[in-house]
Structure 1
Amino acid sequence: MNTLTLERTRNAVEWKTLCQRTDLVADSGVVAWLDGAQVALFHLPLSGGEQVFAIDNRDPKSGANVIGRGIVGTLKGELVIASPLYKQHFRLADGVCIEYPEQRLRVWPVRLNGDRVEVGLG
């Protein structure tokens, strides 16, 4: 569980099942629909313990829904996703762009609950 998820878990969060664990692809992204938004889910099973991140799939620079096809890596000690179009890097923990801090992707708290992948609403 990432830090953002832990912080929001302490508060009252309504959890919604988005998909099953078997729908995730290790070290890669998959995209799911959540209440009118495309959410890119990234499953990192070996990155300091099993982690899942939920981040907006829409690239703010191009407007294309492509973040889920980006490349996962680390930059300046942060887990990031590189946009496949303009190659800017977004931190998975909070959605902030490393190169252009004014660009930000929405993030959702996410957890694995047995075989379910649950996203926090609210």
Structure 2
Amino acid sequence: MQANAEITPLWHDICAESELISNSGICALIDDQQIAIFTLDLAEGRTLYAVSNWDPVGKANVIYRGIIGSVGSEPVVASPLYKEHYSLISGRCMENDGVSLMVYDAQIVDGRVQIAI
């Protein structure tokens, strides 16, 4: 086995695109991991983001309930517990460099939402 072999992500079918809530979040359980999935509907089209649902500051699975917005031009979710802002692109916490969220690839294929783990 090669030490530098690339790992191919495994895509998981989550739900129909029609089940998404515009400009809000939903939660999915994939391989015992809670994943927060956010949908932003902008003039340019629909964009999906997927991050860990675990709030590392509040120590609870609540991120999908957060409010989405932006800091500058970067899309973020504000934790519903202590209001930290997490980048939906990188997962980094805007207020605390010591914490971040896992980020997952998300896509819509043939009307189905898919997340890569």
TM-score normalized by structure 2? 0.88
**1:12 Cα deviation after fit:** 4.0
Measure how far apart 1:107 and its partner are.
0.9
**Residue 32 of structure 2 aligns with which residue?**
36
Report the secondary structure of 1:22's partner residue: helix
| CA RMSD, 1 decimal | 1.4
Q: Which residue number corresponds to residue 72 of structure 1?
A: 68
Residue from 54, 59, 70 that aligns with 1:58: 54
Distance 2:75 2:19 in 1: 21
Aligned residues: 111
How many percent identity over aligned positions? 38
Q: Which has the larger radius of gyration?
A: 2
Structure 1 gaps of 5+ residues are 1-10
Q: Matched residues in 2 for 1:64 and 1:77: separation?
A: 28
> Which runs of structure 2 are paired with 1:41-120 in the superposition (5 Å)?
41-46=37-42, 48-120=44-116
The one-letter code matched in structure 2 to 1:94 is S
Query: Structure 1 or 2: larger strand share?
Result: 2
What 5-or-longer segments of structure 2 have no aligned partner? 1-6
Q: Which runs of 4+ in 1 moved over 6 A?
A: none
Q: TM-score, normalised by structure 1?
A: 0.85
